Chains A and B, each alone.
Chain A
Amino acid sequence: MSDFDLERLGDVWRQQPDAAEMERLQRTAAAVSRRARYSQIVDVAAAVAIAGVVISLVASNPRGDAVLMGTAAILVLLYSNFRQRKLRQV
């Protein structure tokens, strides 16, 4: 099979989908992007809520070890959030 043949096959391969299929794809894409935005908001909101709870617990019991544990918990939370986002981008 020569490269010329592959070029011709490429032309056959790259035929555009029909309008109905494209419309369906656009609808799917809109739904996917809505869901992704929503779950991103939920992720951030959950992280903020957990951080808030940790801060309020530490504030109600301001001992050295509590501050240390609270800070560590928030750092772990931030790291896991960041890492999750990075992993999704692969």
Chain B
Amino acid sequence: MEQGQSWGTDDPSITAAPLPPFERIVADYGPLITRIAASYEADPSLREDLTQQILLAVWQALPSYRADASLKTFIARVAQNRSISFVTKQVRQPPVAELPEKLEADMPNPEESAIEASERASLLEATRRLPLPQRQVIILVLEGFSYPEIADMLDIAPNALALRLSRAKGALKSMLEHRP
């Protein structure tokens, strides 16, 4: 349900459905939270910490959800904000870490999956190297949000978003092309 189904709407005439239970929200949007946490924190134990903080922030923020955006957008916004304050508090750039072990373990189809996992790991690593403002944008694009949604989430003008995205794409492309 992660893609497509949304609990909120931009149309005020449509009545929003009641919020699903927290466990269901985690089941639906857990992968999104995991990916956002992974793109901000490379260290596995700190990442676990960050994931917990995001889950807590989502739990605490849910009563303020007003369905003026989709639940996915709301959760991504909370996760991004929490991740940024987490890495800011660490007072360091997240290390360009060892690749997450899990990505290369537990693979059902060794050859094909290994290529996919390696590609995903490279992408994750390259994303972590981006400066925070560019990283924010590229993560949301990769998560499938539209440009107007991203501009709204980050509270920036479309022009500024286009500029940031263009820089992020350039940097990402260069890193992915020059990977070992």
Mark A residues whose CB is within 8 Å of B: 1, 5-6, 9-10, 12-18, 20-22, 25-26, 28-30, 32-33, 35-36, 85, 88-90
Contacts and interface: CB of A to CB of B under 8 A. Distances in A.
Contacts of A25: 26, 30, 33-34, 51
B17 interface: no
B144 A28 contact: no
Interface in B83-136: 102, 106, 116, 119-120, 123
A1 B57 CA distance: 35
Of the candidates B27, B52, B60, B143, the one having the most CB atoms from chain A within 10 angstroms of its own CB is B60
A6 B7 CA distance: 26
B35 interface: yes
Interface residues of B, number: 37
Given A13-B123, A29-B30, A35-B56, 6 more contacts: A10-B142, A14-B142, A21-B102, A25-B51, A28-B52, A29-B22
A61 to B, nearest CB: 38
Interface in B51-95: 51-52, 55-57, 59-61, 63-64, 81
20 contacts: A1-B172, A6-B169, A12-B120, A13-B142, A14-B35, A16-B31, A18-B102, A21-B102, A22-B27, A22-B31, A26-B23, A26-B26, A26-B30, A30-B23, A32-B52, A33-B23, A33-B59, A36-B56, A89-B63, A89-B64
